[in-house]
Amino acid sequence: MSAAPRLFDRALHRKRLDRAAGGFAAADFLQRRAALDLVERLEAIMRDFPVAVDLSARKGAFREALTENPGAAARVGLLVEADLSSAMLAGRAGPRLAIDDEHLPFAAESLDLVVTTLGLHWTNDVVGALIQLRRALKPDGLLLASFLGGSTLTELRQALTQAEDELWGGAGSRVSPFADSRDAAGLLQRAGFALPVADVDRVSVSYEHPLKLLADLRQMGETNVLADRHPRALTRALLARASEIYAERFAGPDGRIVATFEIVTLTGWAPHASQPQPLQPGSAKMRLADALGTVEHRLPGDG
């Protein structure tokens, strides 16, 4: 089997997260939103999870969201926080692991629950990472995962592309690619998860100026770490023109620009015999027309 293409520089991504750790709380609104959403989903599932892992834990948004929801918190036993950046994990109590979620250390069938919040979009092989998670889960174990989807930062991408084309006669990649949300459930199926579900939360955030958006992305540790990065650095002239285009095309009546973030959330279960199974072809006990109370009409040429 051929290796997955190397899209992202994981070592650089770790450095960016380490750099962002000190002031991460100033720009963690997406992390908190995604964590609260995962906890609400967990609250609706009437079962216990004795051993859980929070990947891409960052500064502990999922643990904090649990403390605000006693119903969900009561169902989670040991919660291990894990992150690519040891700096993100520093300064708080509880079991913590600095690990690369492309190379998980967990034993097979050792976890009841895995949550991963806004981290999977930085993995070079998303399906491979999901397969590792499925193997680490006990049969009928649960995965709750959120990541940034394809519409994320579409305005910034368009503004930078147009500005580069105008000033330099061509454009390269300055915003990381994100998975298409339409393919999200298929990722779980390819990784061997049962009962896959995917849905999308599109978040519009307004900023006084595009440079404020760039500052937030830097503080989130979400700046470009493409392995094949643009050979030319951003210049003041390029940023100025991109900001003008951004304001011209994507500013609201109040003059503030809008940035789109698309949060894709996946729910999947490690396979188990107790789970609902699809019926075998031809096993139906009733004709569809009878069930719907309609009259079946044959098409011309049908035997």
* Contacts with 223 (C-beta within 8 Å, 6 or more apart), sequence order: 16, 214, 217
Could you please state the CATH topology (level 3) that the domain comprising 10-150+176-204+259-274 is classified under.
Rossmann fold (3.40.50)
Q: How far apart are the first and last CA of the chain?
A: 46
Query: What's the confidence (pLDDT) of residue 224?
Result: 87
Q: What is the pLDDT of residue 259?
A: 97
Q: Where do runs of H (alpha helix) occur along 149-235?
A: 154-168, 184-190, 210-220
Exposed/middle/buried for residue 137 (C-beta within 10 Å: 0-12, 13-18, 19+): buried
Consecutive H or E run containing 14? helix 10-21
Closest CA to 6 of 164, 149, 123, 115: 123
Could you give the count of Cα atoms lying within 13 Å of 72 in the half-sphere of its Cβ? 22
- pLDDT at residue 168, rounded to an integer: 87
Provide the 8-state DSSP code for 110.
-
For residue 114, the model assigns a pLDDT of: 98
pLDDT at position 183 is: 83
The reported pLDDT for the residue numbered 181 is: 76
pLDDT tens-digit profile of 23-53?
999 999 999 999 999 999 999 999 999 999 9
Q: What residue ranges of the chain have pLDDT lower than 50?
A: 1
- Structure tokens given for 257: 């620009």
Tens digits of residue pLDDT in 235-287:
999 999 999 999 999 999 999 999 999 999 999 999 988 877 655 555 556 66
pLDDT value for 182: 79
Distances, alpha carbon 128 to alpha carbons 125, 145, 162, 252, 263, in Å: 5, 14, 35, 41, 20
- Determine whether 206 is exposed, middle or buried from the number of CB atoms within 10 Å of its CB (0-12, 13-18, 19+): middle
**How far is 229 from 175, CA to CA, in rounded Å?**
10
